[in-house]
A and B are shown apart, each in its own frame.
Chain A
Amino acid sequence: MDTNVDVSMRVNGDPVSRRIEARMNLVDFLREELGLSGSHVGCEHGVCGACTVRVDGRIVRGCLMVAAQADGADVTTIEGLSDTGEIRALQDAFVERNALQCGYCTPGMLLTLAELMERNRAASRSEIREFISGNYCRCTGYEAIVDAFEMARSARSGGGGDAA
């Protein structure tokens, strides 16, 4: 029985096509087939948020979606967002505020915060906390992450949504 499927999608702007096992999830596809190892795997059951990537403009958990579901989609990962500079202000704030320690949760956290920046740039501290409450971070205790969001939105270059 052939359990393989063909998938094509745009990843960080580049068209990609592969023949893969139908059960392969999106984050494994990105990591193993495309070498985009910035999206991480922490639980494979949709809880930790380390695998968060953007599909057609909205964040999803890459472990809960099989890659074939993203056929034809526009997928953006931390590598893509880094290269376009879209989340530069957030990244700079993370570094300056030490909002990452081991950095394992960080790509997922940044993608999540980038979405918050777009949806509710003026979010209060408790709204920021709520919004990232599906992302595990075991190192920081979260406070620095909340601070970094606040720093990024007040940075002059903007944190998201106003990329060139």
Chain B
Amino acid sequence: MTDLIADRWILDRPNSYIGRSVPRPNAPRLAEGRGTFVDDVPLGPRAGHVAFVRSPHAHARMRSIDTEAARASPGVIAVLTGRDLAAIHDPWIGVLTHLEGLKSAPQYALPLDTATWQGEAVAAVVADSRARAEDAAELVAIVWEVLPAVTDPASALDPDTPVIHESLGDNLAWRRNVDFGDIEAAYAEADHVIEETFVFARHTGVCVEPRAILADWNPAEEQLTVWHNTQCPHMIQNILATHYRLDEHRVRVIAGDVGGSFGIKVHTYADEIATVGLSILLKRPVKFVADRMESFVTDIHARAQTVKGRIAVRNDGTILGFEIDALSGIGPYSMYPRTSGIEANQIVNLMGGPYEFDHYRAQATVVFQNKNMMCQYRAVGHPVKCAVTEGLVDAAARATGLDPAELRQRNLRADDSYPCRSVQGLPFENLSHEESLAKLLEAMDYEALKDERDALREEGVYRGIGLASFIEVTNPSAMFYGVGGARISAQDGATMRLDARGNVFVATGATEQGQGMEAVISQVAATAVGVPPERLKIVTGDTEHTPYGGGTWASRAAGIGGEAVARAGRALREQILRAAATMLQEDAANLDIRNGVVVEAQTGAERIGLDEIGRICYYRPDTLPDGFQSELVATRHYVPRKYPFAFTNGVQASYLEVDVETGFITLLDHWCIEDCGTVINPLLVDEQIRGGIVQGLGGALFEECVYDRDGQMLNATMADYLVPMAAELPDMQCGHVESPTAESDLGAKGAGEAGTCGAPAAVMNALNDALAPLGASRLTDMPFTPRKVLRALGRI
């Protein structure tokens, strides 16, 4: 591993905005309801609205489709099927070459003859309003031949289970085995080998704004314009161009305001691709907005893992090794282009992450199911590997009689051991597990809290404390997807320009999903150039106006997008200073820009305003010396090269109370200490952490896509699918340790997923701690519903 030496110039700038809770430039307009989400884009009367006919069956062949009645329905423009669309697009296959052996079948915008999950779009009705399209969709008559549905991952590979895609030979999407050290030797040496099985329900993101796309094909220009609430405009541009056989410069993707995404809006959804095809075929704008039922049965689901885990530990608490066997049932296809193998891959790669141990064996099996598609949702794989690791660590604490905090302290990777590699071989640059845990224990007053818990037990009040240390993948390099052949950019670009009045325009390939990207960009840009943030105009989410970039995923936008802006800002400052030096007949090295004014670097004395520089360069270049050409635009790109990811770390704690009569769990307190390197905006980081924690709590306590044996999702409404609401949540306390990455000047790592990663594990451990004195059986099957709690207590 090469040692990196960072140049922290950006942190040393005068009037720095880094580390300050500056407000977000886009927040006031959202607070006035004046955002522009896809469904807000004004439409002319020619626009078509699509309603999809969706399969009522989990697995069924279409014998025939009769569209005549639908075509005659009022307002209908067209009724089209998979075969109509197949004429103009190429199918896709969701595999990556670095997930060796992962297989999937070709997927079309609408299937040609067989529906493979309940809710899959099979025909499209376009009408002059969505309501009339829905009316007509009910008139599309399909004769179905119902096929047996594969809905139990455990039996998906049995010889008598039907195979979903005959061309693939079996229902195995992917299997990965790894073996490091000698786990059998660890078992032989251990005083305790503890085995537990952990279950993680299928759940989903429930963005309050549903998926939406508005496609407008202009045949005269051969130009496709798409408004899409995607996290990755450039990726979608590439995908649409590739599969509709267009050149990329003929495709423009605009992602305006996005109403939450959390990984849900980073994928290639067949119904969205179909909407684009409808616009091409009908030569008019066509809009699709998923309704809530469609969202539940088509927005990707995630987790759905059953993991058998083992830990080998000595009496003194030394962890010797881990072993896992994970089984996951994905959808009928692997999702494109990120695949449905990454969740399992992350679990294998990241198990045991915070701890020092030498022996590890893992198997992950991913099987196809006739259920909705599965793919990456916030903190992909992390809540699973964290809960399995931390659940086993707590089991080891019980077996050895050590306090859970103490056992962790004995095994966490030492803060002075970096750089180093995990047992799986992943490089860690610099983490702070020990300091983070110490800070956490202090913040929660661990010993006093334990006393309180114990005292209350005497009174029949059952409270529990749970800890969860974790690592988190952020700032991914091209090693994440690019290396596997996916055209997903790991780099980001930023273009900055001084305008004629001395204001600065910033265009970035990173995108805003509500996480506060625009604020982060404005802070970095303002600091790098030396202007106040109100003098910036930020442009994101438009492939025609921003440099090529990856968008938002895997906690990358601030660390990678922000770094590109830092570098572009520095370059622009140097260019401005060259112009200023020419005007002032001064050495550029003696000048700086502060607060929008060129000053003497030593004294801070003001020399010339940026407005004046803009005026002279753009309107009176004749007054500048011969041979001097001002350049007031700078573009820079950035991608991490040395480390495949910037790992972050943290630790969470949960304090909760269980009502042993009803099984209800009340969350009393939650803490998170997290290390995302340089904190650019403390307010935004903390709110990312809190929002992330709550999504983790949802998975732990409430959220589950319930399927019956026939592959019918039974709770596909917001009233039936429970998520955490305001009244059920505690206030959450956040704290930070800062270990900046030396790979970038800014030193920022990602913060958007850490909350989701650790929360379920902390709650699980707290719950089992609360129930321990009652002799309850261990609860490791999420979500922890009151019924499961009562069952564990033997009350039902």
A: residues with CB less than 8 A from B are: 21, 23-24, 31, 35-45, 47-48, 50, 77-79, 82, 91, 94-98, 100-107, 110, 125-126, 128-130, 132-146
Contact = CB atoms under 8 A, between A and B. Distances in A.
29 contacts: A36-B33, A37-B33, A37-B36, A37-B37, A38-B34, A42-B208, A42-B209, A44-B291, A45-B718, A47-B718, A78-B33, A91-B32, A98-B684, A101-B515, A102-B257, A103-B257, A105-B208, A128-B726, A133-B725, A133-B727, A135-B726, A136-B725, A137-B726, A138-B206, A138-B262, A139-B260, A141-B693, A143-B731, A144-B687
Interface in B267-322: 291-292
A47 B28 CA distance: 26
A132 B728 CA distance: 11
Contact of A100 (B27, B131, B209, B717): B27
Nearest to A137: B208
B731 to A, nearest CB: 5
Given A37-B40, A143-B731, A138 B207 contact: yes
A141 B690 contact: yes
A23 B27 contact: no
B624 interface: no
Given A45-B718, A106-B33, A110-B31, A141 B292 contact: no
B687 A140 contact: yes
A132 B690 CA distance: 17
B723 A138 contact: yes
Contact of A79 (B26, B32, B206, B695): B32
Given A102-B258, A136-B208, 16 more contacts: A31-B40, A37-B36, A38-B35, A43-B717, A82-B32, A103-B257, A104-B209, A129-B727, A130-B726, A133-B725, A136-B725, A138-B206, A142-B726, A142-B729, A143-B729, A144-B690
A16 B517 CA distance: 39
B516 interface: yes
Contacts of A39: 33
Contact of A43 (B36, B515, B687, B718): B718
Contacts of B159: none
Given A45-B719, A95-B27, A140 B691 contact: yes
Contacts of A105: 208
Contact of B37 (A104, A135, A145): A104
Interface of B: 23-24, 26-28, 30-37, 39-40, 42, 131, 205-210, 257-262, 291-292, 513-516, 683-684, 687, 690-695, 717-719, 723-729, 731-732
Given A135-B726, A141-B694, A145-B726, A101 B260 contact: yes
A138 B208 contact: yes
A129 to B, nearest CB: 4
Contacts of B32: 38, 78-79, 82, 91
Contacts of A103: 26-27, 30-31, 35, 257, 259, 514
Nearest to A90: B31
B260 A141 contact: no
A101 B691 contact: yes
Nearest to A145: B726
Nearest to A97: B683
A100 B291 contact: no
Contacts of B683: 97-98
B719 A47 contact: yes
Nearest to B34: A38
Contacts of A77: 33
A146 B725 CA distance: 12
Nearest to A35: B42
Nearest to A95: B27
Chain A interface mostly helix, strand, loop or mixed?
Answer: loop
B209 A79 contact: no
Nearest to B27: A95
B687 A98 contact: yes
Contacts of A101: 260, 513-516, 687, 691
Given A42-B208, A103-B31, A141-B732, A21 B687 contact: no
Nearest to A101: B514
B159 to A, nearest CB: 42
A49 to B, nearest CB: 9
B33 A82 contact: yes
Nearest to B207: A138
Contact of B729 (A48, A135, A136, A141): A141
A87 B262 CA distance: 29
Q: Which among B28, B32, B42, B729 has the highest number of chain A CB atoms within 10 Å?
A: B32
A82 B28 CA distance: 10
Q: Which of A39, A45, A125, A138 has the most CB of B within 10 A?
A: A138
Contacts of A35: 42
Contacts of B291: 44
A97 B694 CA distance: 18
B514 A130 contact: no
Nearest to B697: A141
A136 to B, nearest CB: 5
B30 to A, nearest CB: 3
A22 B684 CA distance: 44
Nearest to A107: B33
A9 B724 CA distance: 37
A140 B151 CA distance: 34
Contact of A50 (B30, B208, B684, B727): B208
B467 to A, nearest CB: 20
Closest 8 CB pairs of A and B: A38-B33, A103-B30, A102-B514, A104-B259, A78-B33, A101-B514, A141-B694, A37-B40
Contacts of A94: 27, 31
Contacts of B40: 31, 37
Contact of B260 (A47, A96, A104, A142): A104
A141 B691 contact: yes
Nearest to B31: A91
B212 to A, nearest CB: 10
A81 B284 CA distance: 36
Nearest to B695: A138
A106 B30 contact: yes
A140 B690 CA distance: 7
Given A41-B39, A50-B208, A139-B260, A98 B516 contact: yes
B232 to A, nearest CB: 16
Contacts of B694: 140-142
Contacts of B208: 40, 42, 48, 50, 102, 104-105, 136-138
Contacts of B727: 126, 129-130, 133
Given A101-B515, A143-B731, A44 B28 contact: no
Contacts of A135: 726
B690 A106 contact: no
A103 B731 CA distance: 21
B717 A45 contact: yes
